[in-house]
Structure 1
Amino acid sequence: MAPSQIAHDIEPIPVATRRRPGRSGAMSHTSMGLIIAIVSCAAFGTSGSFAKALLGSGWTPVTAVAARISIAALALAIPTAMALRGRWHVLRDNIKPIVLYGIFGVAGCQLFYFNAVTHVSVGVALLIEYLAPMLLVGWAWARYGRTPRRLTIAGTAAAIVGLLFVLDVFNGFSVDPIGIAWALGAALCLTVYFVIAGDEESELPPIALAGGGMSVGAVILLAMCALGVQPVSVSTADVTFAGSQMPFWVPVLGLALIAAALAYATGIYAARALGTTVASFISLLEVLFAVAFAWMFVGEAPTLVQVVGGVFIVGGVVLVRLDESRHAESFGPVVAAEHDAEIERWLDDVRPTRDEECVTR
């Protein structure tokens, strides 16, 4: 899909005219959001396989991520400018969430993940990263004293059991602890990504948030390369991918255009179209796509024990999300808002103060 077409397709819906459940046309809007969410999951799922090919040929994590995000930022520059034409003030007013999205959702999340896959398999790294909802539950409990309900506790327990299986602790903890630490860092950054991407009140077009975040992330990563914060190495040698040798720029462009530009732009649109809870449910498909792609392209077949652990982790996240959804439906918007108060307070700090001009446009 051409960048200009992406910009046209995911133009934001004004607040005053957004579809609500029960109104004419709501089904088509939701269906489109679901399709785009699945596309985003598949695109994100390719990143681990592309990264493994580069890392195995002499690239270091920071250089691979810097190349990925920098090229993606260039690819999104024109559609971002088109989406913001005539209203550049929106970009200025949303500078704080863009910067935070670039630091955590783009640079941080990918750098931690790429470092993780140098020590553990793609599937293990991604399963640990997707413990993000559990981390959010624990943070809300510690920070605001909100005791988790029984279904959330059951989901968290299932995810912890699954993590034990994925790490294979029953056979002497065979997974590299350094890789686990990097993957947990990616999980923390993923939590921030979901919070910012799912802000339905934002005037910022999804493509502009993706493009702006990519630009911020690129600056940070290129600065890290220049300063030598992490080992810097690139290679122009052919890489092994999908059982054959191919030029190094093939996985580089795959990382940048498929696993970054397309994945992030469609992911933001899906989070706004479906809501943060539903979008995070669908995002679990990324784990399945990533494991399947890693198996096909780089020969990383998960063990039976890790498959069982993956089922427990995904099941645990589903239970937590079901609990959130049930809570919101049973007690209405007032209690639902209180349930997610910690997220709203965080968003209030990064969301700009503005009038209701978006409603009257």
Structure 2
Amino acid sequence: MARTQSRPSLGYALVVGGACFFVLNAGVSRVVLRAGIDPALLTTFRTTGSALLFVLFAVVADRSALRLPRGRELALLLLLGVVGIASVQWTYNIAIDRIPVGMALLLEYLAPVLVVLWARFVQRQHVRRTMWLAVALTLVGLALVAQIASGLAFDGLGMLAGLAAAACLATYFLVGEQGVSEADPIRVVVWAFVFAAIAMNVARPIWTSPDLDGSANLLGALDAYEVPLWLAIGWVVVLGTLTPFFMELSALQHLPATVVTMVATLEPVGAAALGWAWFGESLDALQVVGGLLVVAGIVLAQASRAVPPPAVPEVAG
């Protein structure tokens, strides 16, 4: 997207705001999961609701975005939707249901490290020597956070789900670099979510959902309160997906994609703070140091790439 009359301060405000909505979505998603909606069904709700609203937006704003993709574009958008969106969200939902939300996002955001390793060893791209420092920081940091020396501190399946989310998110970025980022961002996201919704409705059809007339306890520090379950699911779709997406898309009009992606790495830090304030999750001093090392490694990995990340907003968190 062209950045006419660029206003960097507004761009930073938008991307930070988008990151905050993604962080809050982690907490609301856990509320929905603990209310009895399984991770696959929550992913179906999120992708289906988002796809419908994105299509509606395209009908109003830009009907050309609804043109059916063909050939190579179709294959890339299918991969983006099924792996880069549906699979990311499914594995991420499993992770936040089983391990602290900060740890889940920390694992998911290892994606830039996986991307730089793929670029170096598979695509044979030139990367800066700082890549090795980035990899070392993330590995040492994860070892400290997970307390590998004394046995895993967190649920093994939850950890594996978080790592799977990182691999799927790395696919999202790599597919973006293979030409999808050159297309209209609205068109890309509309069709990616449509394909994600189709895939999830095959895996876990939305019509198999239980009665949504019940309530969802807000858990943790908000345990005294309940909200209608349908309202919490609506938050995940509207304020946990569409709102941060449009904020980050708008930020790309004022900031380079590299900067937007860097600032978005605030999400694991914000999620750790949310987990502490809302759910009473805490890390000891060594684990906090480990988390900071991981974030530093992620940022350094972003800076190690010779090829910048795609100018497509991250919609998987």
Range class of TM-score, shorter chain: 0.7 to 0.9
Local SS of the residue matching 1:92 = coil
1:176 is the counterpart of 2:155: yes
CA distance in 1, matches of 2:181, 2:92: 29
The structural deviation recorded for 1:235 is 6.0
* Counterpart for residue 217 of structure 2: 240
Whole-angstrom distance in 2 between the partners of 1:179 and 1:98: 28
User: Which residue pairs with 2:49 in the alignment?
Assistant: 71
CA contact (8 A) 2:65 2:190 kept: no
Q: What is the rounded CA distance, in whole Å, between the counterparts of 1:192 and 1:73 in structure 2?
A: 20
CA distance in 2, matches of 1:186, 1:281: 19
Matches within 5 A, 1:70-149: 70-85=48-63, 87-88=64-65, 92=69, 94-146=73-125, 149=128
Q: Look up the match of 1:333.
A: none
CA distance in 2, matches of 1:125, 1:190: 13
Greater mean deviation of Cα atoms: 300-309 or 266-275: 266-275
CA distance 1:283–1:255, shift in 2 (3 Å): same
Letter in 2 for 1:69: T
Cα 1:201–1:49 change in 2 (3 A) is: closer
Whether the 8 Å CA contact 1:194–1:276 is kept in 2: the answer is no
CA offset digits 1:203-227 (Å, max 9, x no partner): 41x3333333222211111111149
Distance, in Å, in 2 between the alignment partners of 1:240 and 1:64 is 16
Cα deviation for residue 118 of structure 1 reads 2.4
Aligned twin of 2:273: 292
Deviation at 1:159, TM superposition (A): 0.9
Structure 1 runs not aligned, ≥5 long? 1-11, 20-24, 325-338, 345-361
Is the Cα–Cα contact under 8 Å of residues 65 and 186 in structure 2 kept in the other structure? no
Code of the aligned partner of 1:64: L
Q: In structure 2, how many angstroms separate the alpha carbons of the residues matched to 1:92 and 1:134?
A: 30
Q: Does 1:150 align with 2:129?
A: yes
* Superposition deviation, residue 150 in structure 1: 3.0
Cα contact 1:210–1:268 (8 A) shared by 2: no
Letter in 1 for 2:46: R
Q: Distance in 2 between matches of 1:251 and 1:320?
A: 35
Say whether the 8 Å CA contact 2:58–2:66 is kept in structure 1: no
Partners of 2:44 and 2:205 within 8 A in 1: no
| 1:156-171 aligned within 5 A | 156-171=135-150
Report the Cα offset of residue 200 of structure 1.
Answer: 8.8
TM-score for the superposition, normalised by structure 1: 0.74
Instruction: Return the letter of the residue paired with 1:340.
Output: V
Change (3 A) 1:144 1:315: same
Task: Work out the CA distance in 1 between the residues paired with 2:66 and 2:191.
Answer: 14
Q: 5 Å matches for 1:345-356?
A: none
Could you tell me how far apart the structure 2 residues matched to 1:303 and 1:237 are?
Answer: 37
1:192 maps onto 2:171 in alignment: yes
Q: 1:112 to 1:201 in 2, by over 3 A?
A: closer
Alpha-carbon separation, structure 1, partners of 2:174 and 2:231: 32
1:208 aligns with 2:187: yes
Q: Between the two proteins, what is the percent identity of the paired residues?
A: 25
Task: For 1:142 and 1:95, locate their aligned partners in 2 and report how far apart those are by CA, in whole Å.
Answer: 27
Q: What number of residue pairs does the alignment pair up?
A: 304
Pairing 1:15-26 to 2, within 5 Å after superposition: 19=4, 25-26=5-6
Distance 1:89 1:81 in 2: 8
**Structure-to-structure mapping, 1:2-41, within 5 angstroms:** 12-13=1-2, 19=4, 25-26=5-6, 28=7, 30-41=8-19
- Relative to structure 1, the CA distance from residue 245 to residue 340 in structure 2 (aligned partners, 3 Å threshold; closer, same or farther) is same
* Cα distance in 2 for residues equivalent to 1:147 and 1:313: 23
User: Cα RMSD between the aligned structures?
Assistant: 3.1
Give the C-alpha shift of residue 259 in structure 1: 1.0
Q: Shift of residue 187 of structure 1?
A: 0.5
Work out whether 1:276 is the aligned partner of 2:257. Answer: yes
Q: Which of these two proteins has the greater Rg computed from alpha carbons? A: 1
For residue 38 of structure 2, the aligned residue among 60, 65, 69 is 60
Q: Equivalents in 1 of 2:209, 2:144: separation in Å?
A: 34
Q: Aligned pair in 2 of structure 1 residues 263, 82: CA closer, same or farther (>3 Å)?
A: same
In the alignment, what sits opposite 2:298? Answer: 317
Q: Which runs of 5+ in 2 are unaligned?
A: 311-317
Determine the structure 2 residue equivalent to 1:359.
none
CA contact 2:115–2:173 (8 Å) conserved in 1: no
Residues 90-111 of structure 1 deviation map (CA, whole Å, 9 limit, x = unaligned): 6536544433322123211100
TM-score (norm 2): 0.83
In 2: Cα distance, 1:298 partner to 1:249 partner = 21
* Structure 1 residues 234-254: Cα deviation after superposition (integer angstroms, max 9, x where no partner): 764322213322221232111
- Give the AA of the match of 2:121: A
Q: Deviations over 1:30-56 (max 9, x none)?
A: 443322211221121122211211211
Q: Tell me, yes or no, if the aligned pair for 1:69 and 1:260 is still in contact at 8 Å.
A: no
Q: Hey, what does 1:340 align to over in structure 2? A: 307
